[in-house]
């Protein structure tokens, strides 16, 4: 069996995409879950890009025990030194250095000849190897690179000491038949290819990232780079859950490879990411979308009831997908709740069960039926790591078709001080946002506002997701709030965005150019 190294870049390529940035605590939480999921390498960030990213890579490197921790560095000494400084306390640090090798990138972006690029790549790898045993080199835009030149680069960086050579489809341009050929050419033509792992890193601009990654694995690649929920630059990266489940479900075809992923942790990892970033996956997303295991058509339902495999190629349990069962009501006790929390896959250590139980009771009083999704929300709110600069104490709304919508809001700050203010607005939601802004002394521009019912039923909790651009810095932050009262859910979402913003403000990303 060939072991496929799973290299997760959710915290680097994924986090780089607009709307997905994470603070240090969020990255650590995500990294610990990726460790439980069983990834082999966590790319934790791009250390030189900002002090916040440096700190985050350092903390992740010091926290996780099993996976290697990688940091991205351009092919120059400064990046590599800073990268290593962030990584050096990891059990298994990996420097990941890269330079573009396609004509178009070399000519227009780098303004370097192929000879200069080759030299720079070799120097960077040698320099990195002086600091760190485990060095990965990426030939950026490899799929638009002259294949002979690509093979030469691969050969030379292996000679210089790279343990892994990554062949990225940076712009999501290739197709499976072509990529398979590129990888098999490298496997057959590069004389020292057996001295390094060949990796692939596919973007999804044509919706082919997963297909291309699988074709490359078939052709001999032994590392696959991917992200949870497929997040990443532009259309994203190859989705980890799709690559892994394709190999699992079609083990008749992928019969010569194995990997260390615990598929039962997939759903939880995906949910953690959506709860951190506030960005949901589409309902029809393969493997982890809300509808991924829902059979709507009568013929399908009939088939599944007679024999599950008629329409199901994998079980929801295999990816840790919770069944949509009605669970508890207001007469349920602590034990039943605890059992359900464990069944949902949560590690109860670190969860304040008493607090969760109290919140559950309050909700059960408002709602007759409490579903798995409701419990997940309570837990995620309780374990939320966004330090609360402000929390909502009280909200009162006056609204109606003849009244001027007015919100009175009371907030508590981190020191326990209470402030109250009121505002009118175009509607009750607008009025509550304005009242919050008056207390916090910030101005935000609402870019997106979305409301969903979390479960079925008129008494369902409302989930509000907002995206707010804060005027003093232009930073856009997503926030989420839940309540059976949708105005309260909106105010909570706005406060969540504000708290995340205040946490993040000091860690704004520095622009890094691609010129070495």
CB of 184 closer than 8 Å to CB of 220: yes
DSSP label at residue 87: H
Size of the site for ligand KIV (CB under 6 A): 10
What's the Cα-to-Cα distance from 144 to each of 136, 147, 152, 335, rounded to whole Å?
20, 8, 15, 58
Q: Dig out the tokens for 169 from the structure.
A: 């489809």
Identify the residue among 49, 101, 170, 499 touching ligand KIV (CB under 6 A).
170
Per CB under 6 A, which region of 166-174, 183-191, 418-426, 460-468 contacts ligand KIV? Answer: 166-174
Toward Zn ion, which CB reaches closer, 171 or 337? 171
CA distance 141 to 105: 8
**Min dist. Cβ of residue 426 to ligand KIV (A):** 43
Asked whether position 212 contacts ligand KIV by CB under 6 A, the answer is no
**Min dist. Cβ of residue 209 to ligand KIV (A):** 10
Q: Dig out the tokens for 11 from the structure.
A: 């915290």
Toward ligand KIV, which CB reaches closer, 13 or 374? 13
- Mask of contacts with ligand KIV, 254-293, x by CB under 6 A? ----------------------------------------
Size of the site for Zn ion (CB under 5 A): 1
CA distance 171 to 477: 26
Per CB under 5 A, which region of 9-17, 173-181, 275-283, 496-504 contacts Zn ion? Answer: 9-17
What phi and psi, each to the nearest 5 degrees, are found at residue 483?
Answer: -175, 160
Question: Which neighbouring-strand residues pair with 408?
Answer: 396, 422
CB of 105 closer than 8 Å to CB of 153: no
Identify the residue among 7, 54, 84, 98 touching ligand KIV (CB under 6 A).
98
Tell me the DSSP string of 447-502: EEEEEEESSSSTTPPEEEEEEEEETTT--EEEEEEEESSHHHHHHHHHHHHHHHHH
Toward ligand KIV, which CB reaches closer, 201 or 492? 201
Q: Where are the alpha helices (DSSP H) in 161-208?
A: 176-189
CA distance 5 to 258: 9
Q: List the one residue out of 14, 28, 470 whose CA is nearest residue 225.
A: 14
CA angle 12, 482, 346 (to 5 degrees): 60
Per CB under 6 A, which region of 105-113, 164-172, 415-423, 439-447 contacts ligand KIV? Answer: 164-172
**Min dist. Cβ of residue 13 to Zn ion (A):** 4
- Residue 98 interacts, among Zn ion, ligand KIV, none and using kind-specific CB cut-offs from 5 to 8 Å, with ligand KIV
Q: Dig out the tokens for 100 from the structure.
A: 């573009």
Q: Where are the alpha helices (DSSP H) in 3-71?
A: 15-16, 24-37, 51-63
Toward Zn ion, which CB reaches closer, 98 or 293? 98
CA distance 508 to 477: 12
Per CB under 6 A, which region of 154-162, 165-173, 250-258, 432-440 contacts ligand KIV? Answer: 165-173
- Residue 278 interacts, among ligand KIV, Zn ion, none and using kind-specific CB cut-offs from 5 to 8 Å, with none
CA distance 318 to 264: 5
Toward Zn ion, which CB reaches closer, 204 or 270? 204
CA distance 404 to 29: 43
Asked whether position 13 contacts Zn ion by CB under 5 A, the answer is yes
Identify the residue among 23, 33, 138, 496 touching ligand KIV (CB under 6 A).
138
**Min dist. Cβ of residue 103 to ligand KIV (A):** 16
Asked whether position 145 contacts ligand KIV by CB under 6 A, the answer is no
Identify the residue among 168, 322, 405, 428 touching ligand KIV (CB under 6 A).
168
Toward Zn ion, which CB reaches closer, 12 or 480? 12
**Min dist. Cβ of residue 157 to ligand KIV (A):** 13
Toward ligand KIV, which CB reaches closer, 112 or 201? 201
CB of 469 closer than 8 Å to CB of 445: yes
Identify the residue among 8, 26, 35, 140 touching ligand KIV (CB under 6 A).
140
Which uninterrupted H or E stretch holds 423? strand 418-424
**Min dist. Cβ of residue 236 to ligand KIV (A):** 11
CA angle 197, 203, 209 (to 5 degrees): 80
**Min dist. Cβ of residue 475 to ligand KIV (A):** 23
**Min dist. Cβ of residue 309 to Zn ion (A):** 37
**Min dist. Cβ of residue 167 to ligand KIV (A):** 9
Per CB under 5 A, which region of 5-13, 84-92, 364-372, 423-431 contacts Zn ion? Answer: 5-13
Toward ligand KIV, which CB reaches closer, 98 or 254? 98
- Residue 340 interacts, among Zn ion, ligand KIV, none and using kind-specific CB cut-offs from 5 to 8 Å, with none
- Residue 480 interacts, among Zn ion, ligand KIV, none and using kind-specific CB cut-offs from 5 to 8 Å, with none
Q: Dig out the tokens for 128 from the structure.
A: 């990195």
Residues 6+ apart with CB under 8 A from 182: 142, 143, 147, 150, 167, 174
CA distance 486 to 204: 36
CA distance 417 to 397: 22
Residues that bind ligand KIV (CB under 6 A): 13, 72, 98, 138, 140, 166, 168, 170, 201, 203
Residues that bind Zn ion (CB under 5 A): 13
């Amino acid at each position: 069996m060939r072991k496929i190294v799973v290299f997760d870049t959710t915290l680097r390529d994924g986090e780089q995409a607009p709307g997905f940035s994470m603070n240090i605590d969020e990255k650590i939480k995500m990294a610990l879950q990726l460790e439980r999921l069983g990834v082999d390498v966590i790319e934790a960030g791009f250390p030189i890009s900002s002090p916040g990213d440096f700190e985050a890579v350092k903390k992740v490197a010091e926290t996780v025990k099993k996976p290697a921790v990688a940091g991205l560095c351009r092919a120059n000494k400064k990046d590599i030194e800073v990268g290593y400084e962030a990584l050096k306390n990891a059990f298994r640090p990996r420097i990941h250095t890269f330079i573009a090798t396609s004509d178009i990138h070399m000519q227009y972006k780098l303004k370097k000849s192929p000879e200069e690029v080759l030299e720079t790549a070799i120097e960077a790898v040698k320099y990195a190897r002086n600091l760190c045993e485990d060095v990965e080199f990426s030939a950026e835009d490899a799929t638009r690179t002259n294949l002979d030149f690509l093979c030469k680069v691969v050969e030379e960086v292996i000679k210089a000491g790279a343990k892994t050579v990554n062949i990225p489809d940076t712009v999501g341009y290739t197709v499976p038949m072509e990529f398979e050929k590129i990888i098999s050419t490298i496997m057959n033509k590069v004389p020292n290819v057996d001295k390094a792992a060949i990796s692939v890193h596919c973007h999804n601009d044509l919706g082919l990232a997963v297909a291309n990654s699988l074709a490359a694995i078939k052709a001999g690649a032994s590392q696959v780079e991917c992200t949870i929920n497929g997040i990443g630059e532009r259309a994203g990266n190859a989705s980890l859950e799709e690559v892994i489940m394709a190999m699992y479900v079609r083990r008749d075809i992928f019969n010569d490879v194995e990997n260390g992923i615990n598929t039962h942790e997939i759903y939880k990892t995906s949910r953690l990411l959506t709860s951190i970033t506030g960005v949901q996956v589409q309902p029809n997303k393969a493997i982890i979308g809300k509808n991924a295991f829902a059979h709507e058509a009568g013929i399908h339902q009939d088939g599944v009831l007679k024999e599950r495999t008629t329409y199901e190629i994998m079980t929801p349990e295999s990816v840790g997908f919770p069944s949509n069962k009605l669970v508890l009501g207001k007469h349920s006790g602590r034990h039943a709740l605890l059992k359900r929390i464990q069944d949902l896959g949560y590690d109860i250590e670190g969860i304040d069960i008493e607090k969760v139980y109290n919140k559950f009771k309050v909700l059960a009083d408002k709602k007759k039926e409490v579903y798995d999704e409701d419990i997940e929300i309570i837990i995620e709110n309780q374990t939320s790591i966004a330090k609360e600069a402000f929390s909502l104490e009280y909200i009162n709304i006056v609204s109606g078709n003849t009244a001027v919508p007015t919100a009175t809001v009371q907030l508590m700050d981190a020191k326990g001080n209470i402030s109250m203010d009121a505002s009118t607005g175009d509607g009750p939601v607008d009025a509550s946002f304005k009242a919050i802004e008056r207390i916090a002394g910030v101005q935000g521009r609402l870019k997106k506002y979305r409301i969903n019912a979390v479960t079925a039923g008129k008494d369902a909790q409302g989930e509000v997701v907002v995206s707010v651009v804060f005027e003093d810095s232009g930073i856009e932050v997503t926030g989420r709030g839940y309540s059976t009262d949708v105005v309260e859910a909106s105010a909570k979402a706005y406060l969540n965005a504000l708290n995340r913003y205040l946490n993040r403000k000091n860690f704004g990303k520095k622009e890094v150019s691609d010129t070495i």
